[in-house]
């Protein structure tokens, strides 16, 4: 067996989670190897050609605020950009960009290749090598990985980022093939069996994708044009709108109709989804077109977007029409849609099944509870989406090397980030289907806006070492300017052209008919400020009462989080806990009362019993007295 010199950190998989994990570890000075089955699949976008969207845009901006790469990469490679939900309040504004998916992965691969301390290697990992402590058989730690070619790579930390490749199976109609997404090679060399032998609780999930169609066979004039925003908002806080401005490419809106739905209903018996061929659990919030027609039978039509896959291709992605029906049925149903009567399919839509872990067996650091030094991120953790994967990859990579440094883990929780909500949901509540981030999952949405991600997380990115000093100093300057402008608005009166006072500008801003820009004529000494500065001051003042209420809720949250639970607490000995609560608490082993309160099946009454019991522990000295 060939034995390599190895590395401090090994990352298994080159998708969006793997890229962020490897970059984080290497940029902090640790030798890192990223393994991908094919280097051509690094940062691949096998599903929708976009980054961001409702709540997902929040994740990307948070990844950037912590020092990750996804935001920078999409700023380099977008072909259209839009801020969604602008008719609503700032809490739900979400940035979304269409990507040139070919350039996106090329740019990410180039970044990986040029990063010091990082090796990129094409090979399949088939075994994670774990060592058991001879003095304590319950203690195990990762010591290396083995490839399909028999090579061995020693390591101190390993991060599993297998995405949808692990033991993958692609299906449409009666046809199935044991490949990864887009016909790429699947990971079927034995890693599933190896992880199961290590005691990891694996499960089977499913996701899917629509057909890609030939743009020259579309009648785009029959569809509604969807252009990008005139002024592009960057994902990365290091970029400005002017720096990344470029000519944008339109998308197109169309709809299904009753004829479409009839074709689907007449062929449901040929659907692997309804015929029992597919066993994996699919995402509830991203259903196939078959599911939509069955579950929402009263709807006369469903919205579809035709999205270009890139600047130099005629392939279009039919957003909203994911399907695993046979290819002839996919062709027939597409040809019932306005603008697509003569369409030709370039890539048939398919469903893909893959192996993943039950995330309840993860710590909130994304380390697997039973094996020291083994972390996991992305769709292997039961989530879905590029953005969720990148967020987890960044946190897993950071926590892996912070543990090597003997430092505290990354400080993300439900009060300071959507990333914290995502991870807490997975490791505390678990998921029975591919998890998708949504704004409704966050309790403190007004505080966790996409526009203030840098204000929430740049300090932490600097603490862990991913935000360089120059960027940090610019951030501190911006923060100071926001504070100063907010303070100025609270002591400055609005004076109209006739010299009449209308009260403090801060009070005027709280009226819905007034904005920072509309009050310019009444603000005689207004300084010239960057838009991102005055916007923050305006939002803080306009929503001051609501923000104060959320801050009180956050304070209560932190009190429960600070009440730690001993790792060896025997829940069976706590009288008054319901049986379900005892089982759930013993299985998940929450680290705090706050985390315990969010476990499904643990009631407020159970939490009160737990608090009373914990209050007795310091006085009694030990829990069984």
3-state DSSP call for residue 475? helix
Look at the block and give the residue holding tokens 């029975």. 432
Rounded to whole angstroms, how far apart are CA atoms 73 and 78? 9
Q: Confirm if 103 and 110 have CB atoms less than 8 A apart.
A: no
pLDDT (tens digit, 9 = 90+) per residue, 210-235?
A: 999 999 999 999 999 999 999 999 99
pLDDT (tens digit, 9 = 90+) per residue, 150-179?
A: 999 999 999 999 999 999 999 998 899 999
Specify the CATH number of the domain 563-620. Answer: 1.10.150.570
Say what percent of the chain tops pLDDT 70: 97
What is the average pLDDT value for the chain, to the nearest integer?
A: 94
Write the DSSP symbol of residue 337: S
pLDDT (tens digit, 9 = 90+) per residue, 387-446?
A: 999 999 999 999 999 999 999 999 999 999 999 999 999 999 999 999 999 999 999 999
The pLDDT of residue 108 is above 60:
yes
pLDDT (average), residues 45-67: 97
Query: Which pLDDT score, from 0 to 100, does residue 91 have?
Result: 94
Q: Confirm if 54 and 286 have CB atoms less than 8 A apart.
A: no
Token digits of residue 484: 């100063």
Rounded to whole angstroms, how far apart are CA atoms 483 and 457? 17
Cα 470 to chain center, whole Å? 27
pLDDT (average), residues 183-206: 95
Query: Which pLDDT score, from 0 to 100, does residue 622 have?
Result: 45
pLDDT (tens digit, 9 = 90+) per residue, 112-155?
A: 999 999 999 999 999 999 999 887 767 899 999 999 999 999 99
- pLDDT-derived band at 383, boundaries 50, 70, 90: very high
Rounded to whole angstroms, how far apart are CA atoms 91 and 164? 31
3-state secondary structure 296-336: CCCCCCCEEEEEECCCCCCEEEEECCCCCCCHHHHHHHHCC
3-state DSSP call for residue 25? helix
Token digits of residue 544: 């001051």
The pLDDT of residue 209 is above 90:
yes
Residues 6+ apart with CB under 8 A from 400: 9, 21, 25, 157, 159, 367, 373, 375
Report the length, in residues, of the chain.
625
The topology under which CATH files domain 7-206+354-464 is FAD/NAD(P)-binding domain (3.50.50)
Query: Which pLDDT score, from 0 to 100, does residue 282 have?
Result: 66
pLDDT (tens digit, 9 = 90+) per residue, 227-270?
A: 999 999 999 999 999 999 999 999 999 999 999 999 999 999 99
Residues 6+ apart with CB under 8 A from 103: 76, 77, 310, 311
Q: Domain extents for the chain?
A: 7-206+354-464, 212-351, 469-547, 563-620
Higher pLDDT: 625 or 201? It is 201
pLDDT (average), residues 36-59: 96
Query: Which pLDDT score, from 0 to 100, does residue 280 have?
Result: 66
- pLDDT-derived band at 621, boundaries 50, 70, 90: very low
Rounded to whole angstroms, how far apart are CA atoms 189 and 175? 22
Domain with residues 469-547, CATH architecture: Orthogonal Bundle (1.10)
- pLDDT-derived band at 623, boundaries 50, 70, 90: very low
Could you tell me the sign of the dihedral formed by the alpha carbons of 168, 308, 41, 286, in that order?
A: negative
What residues pair up with 51 in beta bridges, in sequence order?
Answer: 97
Kindly indicate whether the domain formed by 212-351 is annotated with CATH number 2.60.40.1250. Answer: no
CA angle 202, 206, 212 (to 5 degrees): 145
pLDDT (tens digit, 9 = 90+) per residue, 535-586?
A: 999 999 999 999 999 999 999 999 999 999 998 999 999 999 999 999 999 9
User: Which pTM does this prediction carry?
Assistant: 0.95
Say what percent of the chain tops pLDDT 90: 90
CA of 68: how far to CAs of 74, 87, 367, in Å?
12, 30, 19
Query: Which pLDDT score, from 0 to 100, does residue 273 have?
Result: 75
Rounded to whole angstroms, how far apart are CA atoms 14 and 31? 16
Higher pLDDT: 318 or 501? It is 318
The pLDDT of residue 279 is above 70:
no
């Amino acid at each position: 067996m060939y034995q390599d010199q190895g590395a401090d950190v090994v990352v298994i998989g080159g998708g969006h989670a793997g890229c962020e994990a490897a970059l984080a570890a290497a940029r902090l000075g640790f030798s890192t190897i990223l393994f991908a089955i094919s280097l051509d699949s690094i940062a691949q976008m096998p599903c929708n050609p976009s980054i961001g969207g409702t709540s997902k845009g929040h994740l990307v901006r948070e990844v950037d605020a912590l020092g990750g790469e996804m935001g920078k990469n999409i700023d380099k490679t977008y072909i259209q950009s839009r801020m969604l939900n602008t008719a609503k309040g700032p809490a739900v504004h979400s940035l979304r960009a269409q990507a040139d998916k070919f350039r996106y992965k090329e740019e990410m691969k180039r970044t990986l290749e040029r990063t010091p301390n990082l090796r990129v290697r094409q090979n399949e990992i088939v075994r994670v090598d774990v060592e058991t402590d001879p003095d304590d058989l319950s203690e195990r730690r990762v010591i290396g990985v083995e490839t399909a070619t028999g090579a061995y790579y020693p390591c101190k930390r390993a991060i599993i980022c297998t995405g949808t490749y692990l033991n993958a199976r692609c299906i449409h109609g009666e046809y199935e093939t044991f490949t990864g997404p887009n016909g790429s090679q699947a990971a079927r060399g034995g890693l599933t069996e190896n992880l199961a032998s290590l005691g990891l609780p694996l499960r089977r999930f499913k996701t899917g994708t629509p057909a890609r169609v030939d743009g020259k066979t579309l009648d785009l004039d029959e569809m509604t044009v969807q252009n990008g925003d005139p002024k592009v908002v960057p994902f990365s806080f290091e970029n400005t709108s002017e720096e990344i401005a470029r000519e944008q490419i339109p998308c197109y809106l169309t709809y299904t109709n009753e004829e479409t739905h009839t074709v689907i209903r007449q062929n449901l018996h040929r659907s692997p989804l309804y015929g029992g061929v597919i066993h994996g659990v699919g995402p509830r919030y991203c259903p196939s077109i078959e599911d939509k027609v069955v579950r929402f039978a009263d709807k006369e039509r469903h919205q579809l977007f035709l999205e270009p896959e890139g600047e130099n291709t005629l392939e279009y992605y039919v957003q909203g029409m994911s399907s695993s029906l046979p290819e002839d049925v996919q062709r027939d149903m597409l040809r019932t849609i306005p603008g697509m009567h003569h369409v030709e399919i370039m890539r048939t839509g398919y469903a893909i099944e893959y192996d993943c872990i039950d995330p309840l067996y993860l710590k909130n650091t994304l380390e697997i509870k039973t094996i020291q030094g083994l972390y996991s991120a992305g769709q292997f953790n039961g989530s879905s989406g590029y953005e969720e994967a990148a967020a987890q990859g960044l946190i897993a990579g950071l926590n892996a090397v912070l543990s090597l440094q003997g430092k505290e883990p990354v400080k993300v929780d439900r009060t300071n980030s959507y990333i914290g909500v995502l991870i807490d949901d997975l490791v505390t509540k678990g998921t029975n289907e591919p998890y998708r981030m949504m704004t409704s999952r966050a309790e403190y949405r007004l505080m966790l806006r996409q526009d203030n991600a840098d204000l929430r997380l740049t300090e932490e990115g600097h603490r862990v070492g991913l935000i360089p000093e120059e960027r940090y100093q610019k951030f501190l300057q911006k923060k100071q300017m926001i504070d100063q402008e907010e303070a100025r608005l609270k002591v400055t009166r609005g004076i109209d052209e006739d010299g009449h006072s209308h009260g403090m500008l801060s009070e005027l801003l709280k009226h819905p008919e007034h904005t920072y820009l509309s009050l310019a004529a009444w603000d005689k000494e207004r300084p010239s400020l960057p838009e991102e500065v005055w916007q923050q001051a305006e939002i803080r003042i306009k929503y001051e009462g609501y923000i104060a209420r959320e801050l009180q809720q956050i304070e209560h949250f932190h009190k429960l989080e600070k009440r730690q639970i001993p790792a060896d607490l025997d829940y069976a000995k706590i009288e008054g806990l319901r049986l379900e609560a005892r089982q759930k608490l013993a299985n998940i082993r929450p680290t705090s009362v706050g985390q315990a309160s969010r476990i499904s099946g643990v009631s407020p009454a159970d939490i009160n019993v737990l608090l009373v019991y914990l209050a007795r522990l310091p006085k009694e000295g030990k829990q069984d007295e």
